[in-house]
Structure formats: C-alpha cells, structure tokens
Amino acid sequence: MSTSFLVSGRRIFLAAALFGSHLVSVPRRSIIDMSYSTHFMDFKGSAIPSSMKKLLVTKLSPNFRDAVSLQTVPVPIPGDGDLLIRNRFVGINASDINYSAGRYDPSVRPPFGAGFEGIGEVVGLGLSASAHYAVGQAVAYFGDGAFAEYVVVPAKKTVPLPSVQPEFLTLLVSGATAYISLNNLGHLSEGEKVLVTAAAGGTGQFAVQFAKKAKCHVIGTCSSDIKAGFLKSIGCDRPVNYKAEDLPVMLHREYPKGIDVVYESVGGDMFDMAINRLAIKGRMIVIGFISGYQTGSGLKPVRTGTLPAKLLQKSASVQGFFLPHFLSEYSEAMKHMLEMYEHGELVCEVDMGEMAPEGKFLGLESVFRAVDYMYLGKNIGKIVVELAHPNSSKL
C-alpha cells in the first residue's frame, strides 16, 4: 500500500513493503509551523531522528581537519524523484581534500557537504521514485555531500545493489575511474607494458586488474613489501617497492624499450620519471597527483620545460582523466564491474582501518583519521568508513 501527501509544496511518497513476514512502512512527518517533526519510520521500524551528523566544509583549506567540521543538521526530506538513504558505508578519496580546498568549483562557498560516495538502504522516497525503488533497498551513489548519516539523492543517480557490502563501494569512484579511463584513453593491446603508480591503493588495484584482463604486462609501484605481496596476489607481474628499489634504474634495466601505458596518480617526481620512461607511442593517463594535494597550490612542481620535445620524439601523449566528464559511460561501467565481482572475476580490496593505530574506522568522526591514514600511505585497497546506526540491520 502507499499514500502521498504534500509537504511545503513537495509531494512525498510514503511506502509500505513486505519484507519476509514483516510489514514495514514509512509514516508521514507531521507539520508544525512549516517544520518537520520526527514521525516517519525506517524500514525496520526505528524512528528516523529529526537531526543527524554531517561533515561540512566550513572554510577552504587543503588541511582536511581545518576545513571540515562535524555538525548536527536536520535530516533532509526527499523530493518527488529522490531517495532518502541511510548511509552504511562511505568511501575516502585522495581528492576529498581538493574539494575541501575549493579547487573543483571556486564558485561554491562554504558551508557545503564533504564526501563523494556512499552505500546504504532506502528509508524514504518520492512518489515518482517509487516506480523503480522500494524502502529497504540497497543502493549506492556517487555525488557531493556523502559524509552524512542520511542523504537525499536523485533516484536516477543511484545504483541498485544486491546487498549492502563495503566491497561495492570500491567501484563507485575508484573502480569506475580505472575502468573508464583505460577503456577510453589507454587503448590497451595484448603484450603491452603498463605501469600503475600507487598500484595498491583504491584505484590502482583496479588498474592492475583491468590491464591484466587486457593481457598486458603490469608493473605496479608501492611503498612496502606487504603491498607488493598484495599486488602479486591480484596478478601484477612486477610489483616494485620504491622504498627498497631504485625505480628509475629498475625500469631502465628491465624495460629498456620503455613503458607503453602509464596510469599515474602521484605527480611530482613520479610524473617526471614516467614521462622519461614512455615508449614510442606511449600513453600516460593522469588521474591525479596526490603528492601535491596537501600544498597550498595543490600541485607539486614537475619538470615540464622539455615535455613538448619528449612527447614529439616518441610520438607519445599525456591525457588527463576526470570522472565527472565521462558520466555518460558510468552506468554501463558499473553494471559490468558489478557482474565481474559477482562472478568472482574482480578483487575489491577494502581497508577499514583494522590495522590503524586507533582501530577500525567507525562513525563520521573517524573520517578525519581515515584521510590521515591515506596520506600516510598506509592503506591497501580502498579506505572505507562504516557508519553505525541504532537497530541497523545487516542486509
């Protein structure tokens, strides 16, 4: 059964669905002086609070702890085509501090929400959204303001999931970046040499696997022998712990004809080294430059004075990749990656901080620790924070 009613000009769908032997519903919120009270329920019958925790960028700074604060704000109300999602897991990205520094859209001024991706359950939805979604359904989304206990997301921008698992979160930004960029810009051919920098990280792990599926020879850089072991386990042909090996010397010795494709996310000296090691007709894909993100400019200088000559001499190319520019291909990429994971064809490594000094990343408060953990280079795979809710169910 279902009903709808108009709240401050917006029609909200109140859904009821049968899960097993339990009838669950989302009763209406009442209106008192044009504000909303706490009277609608989630799909397990525990009241959704009137307020929630959310991380807001309150001033622009590349220092995430200085830029972002944990605040209590009203739980948002979904519009006609929206879903109200109770977040269960949120993902950490290197670019979170670029966003908090105001580098993506200078016209956006604080305060604004931080975080790019999350997964959880639908606990409320608009009337038109009910045609394709139901209360209790597991969904994922990629969009601004994800670091919150509840989010409102347009239904058309969400991805239905078979269940709520942190592994699915690895695909939203990190997996999609590797998948789409290598397909569009990499033009991989069997037998080519592919170098993946920061290969044991959130997106690097996928670049390694997709390059291997294209029957390429993959070299992956990392910062420890433990990470090198992980890379070996996902098919990397030549893991390189750059703290134990001289990377430029190794590449010159073992790959004298150069590297055909570089998947680059580090910047600075790593960028310079990779440019010098490009093969004839080599391609570099720049998906980030994390080494400079914590600086005031967001950049670590590279030696580009001779770049035109180097590219010309090798008929080589350097191309940037920014996921929001390729959203027309996002849905198909997600569909394919989800199928690969379900069939056991893709490893989605998650790091939830179990080995971090203060333990697992649990609650929005731990997002700050998780960002620090990333910039210390400690993670293996995608860093994920779990959000605990009273009476939350494990789907």
Spatial contact of 193 and 214, defined as CB atoms under 8 Å apart: no
Q: What is the pLDDT of residue 37?
A: 31
Q: What is the pLDDT of residue 49?
A: 86
- Provide the whole-model pTM: 0.88
Q: What is the pLDDT of residue 7?
A: 35
Q: For residue 328, how many other CB atoms are within 10 A of its CB? A: 8
Position 7, amino acid: V
- What is the 3 state secondary structure string of the chain? CEEEEEECCEEEEEEEEEECCEEEECCCCCEECCEECCCCECCCCCECCCEEEEEEECCCCCCHHHHEEEEEEECCCCCCCEEEEEEEEEECCCCHHHHHCCCCCCCCCCCEECCCEEEEEEEEEECHHHHCCCCCCEEEEECCCCCECEEEEEHHHEEECCCCCHHHHHHHHHHHHHHHHHHHHHCCCCCCEEEECCCCECCHHHHHHHHHHCCCEEEEEECCHHHHHHHHHCCCCEEEECCCCCHHHHHHHHCCCCEEEEEECCCCHHHHHHHHCEEEEEEEEECCCHHHCCCCCCCCCCCCCCHHHHHHHHCCEEEECCHHHHHHHHHHHHHHHHHHHHCCCCCCCEECCCCCCCCCCECHHHHHHHHHHHHCCCCCEEEEEECCCCCCCCC
Spatial contact of 11 and 130, defined as CB atoms under 8 Å apart: no
CA distance 196 to 228: 13
Task: Give pLDDT tens digits along the chain (395 positions).
Answer: 333 333 333 444 444 332 332 323 343 333 222 233 333 556 666 678 889 999 999 999 999 999 999 999 999 999 999 999 999 999 999 999 999 999 988 888 999 999 999 999 999 999 999 999 999 999 999 999 999 999 999 999 999 999 999 999 999 999 999 999 999 999 999 999 999 999 999 999 999 999 999 999 999 999 999 999 999 999 999 999 999 999 999 999 999 999 999 999 999 999 999 999 999 999 999 999 999 999 988 888 888 789 999 999 999 999 999 999 999 999 999 999 999 999 999 999 999 999 999 999 999 999 999 999 999 999 999 999 999 876 544 33
Spatial contact of 270 and 201, defined as CB atoms under 8 Å apart: no
Span(s) in the chain for CATH 3.90.180.10: 2-164+349-386
Q: What is the pLDDT of residue 25?
A: 38
What number does CATH give the domain 2-164+349-386? 3.90.180.10
Who's near 72: CB < 8 A, 6+ residues apart?
Answer: 51, 52, 53, 54
Span(s) in the chain for CATH 3.40.50.720: 172-324
Spatial contact of 71 and 56, defined as CB atoms under 8 Å apart: yes
Spatial contact of 222 and 198, defined as CB atoms under 8 Å apart: yes
Which CATH class name applies to 172-324?
alpha beta
Mutual angle of helices 307-314 and 269-276, in 10-degree steps: 30
Q: What is the pLDDT of residue 229?
A: 98
